[in-house]
């Protein structure tokens, strides 16, 4: 029998056994060291912790409630090791190519960053890698000629979840949700905010 420790990750509490807690603590510590000089370190760590919490939620149920070392290893395999976060100039190495080739499953979300109303058309555009304008025109035509476009849009608005976290935004684009992509996404968001503030 091993001692269980409660861990708060991304606002969710999980019970871990002692050895899993120590491994998780070492993993998060090594990730934090990689981004010690980054101005976005706080946001990067918060998103990584949220992603780990999402992965933990998939691994616990009413029969299995304690996170074990095997769970930590599985999460580390999905997110990657801190030393795998190569700078962009090193992306041409074999490891960088293998990371790029690994595809993630795509999920449909509402894209509220590029929305006009609810983000349904922008989310469909991201999912199908099409300009959202195509879906906006389609819904407008359905409203004008059949009258069902508005009802369909409202149903989709209620059914399709909004992409709020960095992990969800990456899934919406079909990108693997690993630490490397989380970091790139956060840096891009910060760069967009800086550009908007300069105008």
pLDDT of the residue at 158: 92
**102 in Cβ contact with 56 (< 8 Å):** no
Which structure tokens are listed for 69?
A: 């070392």
pLDDT of the residue at 93: 45
**Torsion sign across C-alpha atoms 53, 58, 59, 64:** positive
**21 in Cβ contact with 13 (< 8 Å):** no
pLDDT of the residue at 1: 59
How far is residue 150's CA from residue 50's CA, in Å, rounded to a whole number? Answer: 35
- The SS3 of residue 120 is helix
How far is residue 30's CA from residue 81's CA, in Å, rounded to a whole number? Answer: 9
How far is residue 162's CA from residue 141's CA, in Å, rounded to a whole number? Answer: 25
pLDDT of the residue at 91: 45
pLDDT of the residue at 84: 63
How far is residue 167's CA from residue 63's CA, in Å, rounded to a whole number? Answer: 27
pLDDT of the residue at 38: 75
How far is residue 15's CA from residue 55's CA, in Å, rounded to a whole number? Answer: 14
How far, in Å, are 69, 99, 140 from residue 86 at the CA level? Answer: 26, 11, 45
Residue 58 CB neighbour total at 10 angstroms: 10
Each of the 199 residues of the chain gets a pLDDT tens digit; together they read 567 788 888 888 888 888 888 888 898 888 888 877 777 778 888 888 888 888 888 888 878 888 888 988 888 888 887 766 544 444 444 444 444 444 557 888 888 888 888 889 998 988 888 899 999 999 888 888 877 888 888 899 999 999 887 778 888 887 877 777 787 887 777 777 677 776 5
Query: Dihedral through CA 24, CA 72, CA 91, CA 111, nearest 10?
Result: -100
Residues in the chain: 199
**167 in Cβ contact with 182 (< 8 Å):** yes
User: Residue 165's Cα: distance from chain center in Å?
Assistant: 6
pLDDT of the residue at 101: 41
């Amino acid at each position: 029998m091993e001692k269980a420790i409660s861990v708060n990750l991304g606002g969710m509490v999980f019970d871990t056994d002692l050895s899993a807690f120590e491994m998780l603590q070492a993993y998060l510590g090594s990730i934090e060291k990689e981004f010690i000089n980054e101005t976005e370190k706080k946001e990067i760590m918060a998103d990584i912790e949220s992603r780990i919490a999402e992965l933990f939620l998939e691994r616990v149920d009413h029969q299995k409630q304690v996170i074990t070392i095997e769970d930590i290893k599985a999460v580390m395999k999905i997110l990657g090791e801190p030393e795998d976060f190569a700078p962009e100039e090193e992306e041409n190495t074999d490891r960088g190519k293998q990371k790029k080739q690994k595809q993630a499953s795509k999920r449909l979300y509402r894209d509220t960053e590029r929305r006009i109303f609810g983000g349904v058309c922008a989310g469909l555009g991201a999912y199908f890698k099409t300009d959202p304008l195509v879906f906006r025109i389609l819904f407008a035509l359905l409203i004008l000629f059949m009258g069902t476009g508005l009802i369909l849009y409202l149903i989709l608005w209620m059914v399709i979840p909004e992409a709020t976290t960095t992990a969800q935004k990456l899934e919406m684009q079909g990108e693997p949700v690993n630490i490397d992509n989380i970091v790139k996404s956060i840096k891009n968001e910060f760069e967009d905010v800086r550009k908007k503030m300069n105008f």
